[in-house]
Chains A and B, each alone.
Chain A
Amino acid sequence: MRLDRLELELRRRTPWEALDLGMGMVRRWALPVYRVWFLFLLLPALLILLLFSENVWVWLGVWWLKPVADRLLLKVFAEASFGAPPTIKQVWQSLPELLRRSGLFASLTWRRLSFYRSFTLPILQLEGQRGEAFRKRGRILGRKTQGYATWLMLVCVHCIVIFEVGLLLLAFWLTPGDFLQESLFARGVDGAMNRFESIFYVLLWLSAETLVEPFYVAAGFSLYLNRRSDLEGWDIEVAFRRMQDERTQATPARLGKGAASVVPAMLLALLFGFAAQPFSSARAEDAENRAPPEEAVQAEAVVRVEGEARRQALSVLAGPDFGRVEEKTRWRWRNQSGADRNAQKQNAQEQDWDLDGSGLIEFFGGLAKFVRILLYGLIVLALAVCVVFFYRNRALFRQKAQPQKSARPQTLFGLDLRPDALPDDIPTTALAEAEAGHWVAALSLLYRGALVTLIERDRVIFRAGDTEDLCLLRVRGHVQDEALTVFAALLRDWKAAAYAGSLPTLARIRALCADWRAHFAVSPAAGEEGA
Chain B
Amino acid sequence: MNAANPIPRLDTIHRVLTPEGCELELRLAGGIIRARAWLIDFFFRMLFFSGCVFILSRSGRMGEALLFLLAFLLEWLYPVVFEVFCEGATPGKRFSGLVVLRDDGTPLDWSASVARNFLRAVDFLPFFYALGLVTMGLNREGKRLGDLLAGTLVVYRQTVPPPKVMDDDTKAEVLPFTLTEAEQRALIEYRLRAPGFSRARAGELAQLATPLIAELPPDAARERLVHLGNYLLGRGALAARTEEAG
Which residues of A lie under 8 Å from residue B133 when comparing CB positions?
159, 162-163
Which residues of A lie under 8 Å from residue B197 when comparing CB positions?
231-233
Q: Report A427 CB to chain B, min CB distance, Å.
A: 66
A24 interface residue per 8 A CB criterion: yes
A28 to B11 alpha-carbon distance, docked (Å): 11
A435 interface residue per 8 A CB criterion: no
Which residues of B lie under 8 Å from residue A173 when comparing CB positions?
126
A159 to B132 alpha-carbon distance, docked (Å): 11
Q: Which of A23, A159, A231, A240 has the most CB of B within 10 A?
A: A240
A232 to B204 alpha-carbon distance, docked (Å): 10
A247 with B35: CB separation less than 8 A? no
Q: Report B195 CB to chain A, min CB distance, Å.
A: 12
Which residues of B lie under 8 Å from residue A416 when comparing CB positions?
none
A331 to B38 alpha-carbon distance, docked (Å): 34
Which residues of A lie under 8 Å from residue B30 when comparing CB positions?
16-17, 19-23
Which residues of A lie under 8 Å from residue B224 when comparing CB positions?
none
> Quick one: which of A449-486 are within 8 Å of B by CB?
none
A127 interface residue per 8 A CB criterion: no
B32 with A155: CB separation less than 8 A? yes
Q: Which of A7, A236, A243 contacts B205 (CB 8 A)?
A: A236
The contact string, 1 if C-beta is below 8 Å from chain A, for chain B 1-30, is 110000111111100000000000001111
Which residues of B lie under 8 Å from residue A21 when comparing CB positions?
10-12, 30
Q: Which of B1, B186, B196 contacts A231 (CB 8 A)?
A: B196
Given known contacts A27-B137, A236-B189, A19 and B183 CB-to-CB distance under 8 angstroms: no
Given known contacts A14-B160, A244-B209, A162 and B127 CB-to-CB distance under 8 angstroms: yes
Q: Report B5 CB to chain A, min CB distance, Å.
A: 9
Q: Which of B1, B201, B209 contacts A243 (CB 8 A)?
A: B209
Q: Report A49 CB to chain B, min CB distance, Å.
A: 22
A9 with B208: CB separation less than 8 A? no
B32 with A233: CB separation less than 8 A? no
B10 with A25: CB separation less than 8 A? yes
A-B contact pairs, 13 of them (CB 8 A): A4-B1, A7-B7, A21-B11, A21-B30, A24-B10, A24-B12, A166-B126, A166-B128, A170-B126, A211-B134, A233-B201, A237-B205, A243-B209
Which residues of A lie under 8 Å from residue B134 when comparing CB positions?
211
B186 with A236: CB separation less than 8 A? yes
Residues of B in contact, count (CB < 8 Å)? 54
B32 with A16: CB separation less than 8 A? yes
A453 to B11 alpha-carbon distance, docked (Å): 81
Q: Which of A151, A211, A236 has the most CB of B within 10 A?
A: A236
B209 nearest CB neighbor, chain A only: A240
A215 interface residue per 8 A CB criterion: yes
B interface residue numbers (CB < 8 A to A): 1-2, 7-13, 27-33, 35-36, 96, 125-131, 133-134, 136-138, 140, 142, 156, 160, 162, 179, 182-183, 185-186, 189-190, 193, 196-197, 201, 204-205, 208-212
Which residues of A lie under 8 Å from residue B136 when comparing CB positions?
23
A174 nearest CB neighbor, chain B only: B126
A27 to B137 alpha-carbon distance, docked (Å): 8
A257 interface residue per 8 A CB criterion: yes
> Quick one: which of A103-152 are within 8 Å of B by CB?
148, 151-152
A232 with B201: CB separation less than 8 A? yes
Residues of A in contact, count (CB < 8 Å)? 57
A6 to B212 alpha-carbon distance, docked (Å): 25
Given known contacts A211-B134, A215-B137, A231-B197, A8 and B126 CB-to-CB distance under 8 angstroms: no
Which residues of B lie under 8 Å from residue A14 when comparing CB positions?
156, 160
> Quick one: which of A205-240 are within 8 Å of B by CB?
211, 215, 219, 231-233, 235-237, 239-240
B140 with A243: CB separation less than 8 A? no
A20 with B33: CB separation less than 8 A? yes
A244 with B210: CB separation less than 8 A? yes
A313 interface residue per 8 A CB criterion: no
A233 with B205: CB separation less than 8 A? yes
B36 with A7: CB separation less than 8 A? no
A20 with B127: CB separation less than 8 A? no
A152 to B136 alpha-carbon distance, docked (Å): 16
A83 interface residue per 8 A CB criterion: yes
Given known contacts A23-B31, A27-B137, A83-B1, A239 and B12 CB-to-CB distance under 8 angstroms: no
B1 with A5: CB separation less than 8 A? yes
B160 with A13: CB separation less than 8 A? yes
A20 with B205: CB separation less than 8 A? no
A445 interface residue per 8 A CB criterion: no
A22 to B138 alpha-carbon distance, docked (Å): 13
Q: Report B10 CB to chain A, min CB distance, Å.
A: 5
Which residues of A lie under 8 Å from residue B189 when comparing CB positions?
12, 233, 235-236, 239
